[in-house]
Chain A
Amino acid sequence: MIQGLAIGVLAAGLLLGGWTGIQAYRRRPTTEAQMVGAIVLEAALLVQTVIAIGKLIGGAELDESVTFVAYSLGILLPVPLGFSLARIERTRWGSLSLCFTAVVVAVMTLRLMQLWQAGNG
């Protein structure tokens, strides 16, 4: 994992979560910009997963490599779920769904960083 990218993803997840959270509080559906934000976040997650698994195959040692791989792949799922719910549910509830999944991604990124650091001393 690349520390800078991971922190960027973490911040992006929280930012999107906060942004869509405010939108839900204001009783509005997600905006076009937020949907683009979700796509950008998902792209960054994909890049991170590819790099992390690449490094793992390239010989990086981890204590819990199975858990790490499970998280690396699992982290790709929440945002598409939130995205599709926000698309069909054009109310505040769609915004809240995307908000929740974005925060989940941030938390999962934090867990990934812990697993990576624990493995690399």
Chain B
Amino acid sequence: MADLSETGRDTADAAEDDSPPTGPRRLLIALYAIFALAATARGIVQIATKFDEAPVAYVLSLFSGIVYICATIGLLTNRRWSRPLAWAAVGTEMVGVVTIGFASIIDAEAFPHDTVWSRFGAGYGYVPVILPVLGLMWLWQTRGTFEKHPTTG
């Protein structure tokens, strides 16, 4: 197939021009849903089995899981509160991953037990630090579009 538009572009480029906003949104839903599952399950298992070892880290795991759940719901639904919820959750995630990322590197002893956000999410292939950037980019680029076409459901 000789399609010139295919050559020499990566997927990140393509997000900006030729795709309808639903596509990246659905990928974000996949990403956030998986991390919601991973972080929440991790937090629950840690708190249930060995809470005394590192309560702060484990509560943080659960907190990050809840933030991911809120972001997933914000992206998935199309209500009046959906986008504010997504903004709040993705913003919290951004602040959280940067704060915990720096804190866990500067003061490693305070974070002996990893969370999803420790060391900028190194344990999860650094996806936790990339994810909020993608989320914020998508929210910024699609601002206004959803308010103009309300599809309640």
A-side residues, CB < 8 A to B, are 24-27, 64, 66-67, 70, 74, 77-78, 81-82, 85, 88-89, 91-94, 96-97, 100-101, 104, 107
**Chain A: interface secondary structure?**
helix
Q: How far is the CA of A53 from the CA of B85 in the complex (A)?
A: 38
CB <8 Å contact, B34 and A85:
no
- Let me know if B26 is at the binding interface, CB within 8 A: yes
Given A85-B29, A89-B26, A96-B11, output 5 extra A-B contacts at Cβ < 8 Å.
A26-B6, A27-B14, A77-B37, A85-B26, A92-B23
What is the size category of the interface that chain B forms with chain A? 20 to 34
Q: How far is the CA of A16 from the CA of B119 in the complex (A)?
A: 30
Decide yes or no: A97 and B45 within 8 Å by CB, A77-B37, A92-B11 being known contacts: no
CB <8 Å contact, A89 and B6:
no
B-side residues, CB < 8 A to A, are 3, 5-6, 10-11, 14, 19-20, 22-24, 26-27, 29-31, 33-34, 37-38, 41, 45, 48-49, 125
Please give the distance in Å from B17's CB to the nearest CB on chain A. 12
CB <8 Å contact, A93 and B34:
no
Q: How far is the CA of A91 from the CA of B34 in the complex (A)?
A: 21
CB <8 Å contact, A93 and B31:
no
CB <8 Å contact, A100 and B6:
no
Q: How far is the CA of A91 from the CA of B49 in the complex (A)?
A: 43
A82 nearest in chain B by CB position:
B30
Can you list 10 A-B contacts with CB-CB less than 8 angstroms, sorted by A residue number?
A: A25-B10, A26-B6, A27-B14, A67-B45, A74-B37, A77-B37, A81-B33, A89-B26, A91-B20, A93-B22
